[in-house]
């Protein structure tokens, strides 16, 4: 799985940002889900993203959003990116305004 993550084209993950003229630095919160903690760390290291959680099954992204809200890191109007990795082979990136 780590090999697949290392082969992931960085443009594929950041394309939704670039399509809106954004970079990772424009985001208030970046939430990443990957069930395998070693693969999560590999992905986050490769893309220089924070590693906050391991496998929390279907609630990983929701927990990260809740914690960002409670910590005051997420406010109305902020940009958020949700990244989901499936087995290190497929990825999905979504940008949203909170």
Structural domains for the chain: 2-20+27-97 (3.40.47.10)
pTM of the full predicted structure? 0.72
Show Cβ contacts of residue 18 under 8 Å, excluding neighbours closer than 6 positions.
11
pLDDT of residue 56: 67
Confidence band, pLDDT 50/70/90 cuts, at residue 93: confident
Closest C-alpha among 10, 16, 8, 27 to residue 75: 27
What confidence tens digit (pLDDT) does each residue in 42-84 have? 878 887 877 766 666 678 888 889 999 999 999 999 999 888 8
Q: What is the mean pLDDT of residues 84-97?
A: 79
């Amino acid at each position: 799985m780590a090999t697949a993550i290392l082969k992931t084209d960085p443009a594929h993950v950041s394309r939704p940002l670039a399509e809106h003229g954004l970079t990772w630095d424009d985001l208030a919160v970046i939430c990443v889900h990957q069930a395998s903690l070693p693969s999560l760390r590999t992905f986050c290291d490769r893309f220089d993203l924070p590693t906050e959680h391991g496998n929390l099954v279907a609630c990983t992204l929701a927990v990260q959003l809740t914690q960002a809200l409670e910590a005051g890191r997420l406010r109305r109007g902020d940009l958020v990116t949700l990244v989901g990795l499936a087995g290190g082979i497929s990825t999905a990136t979504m940008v949203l305004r909170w």
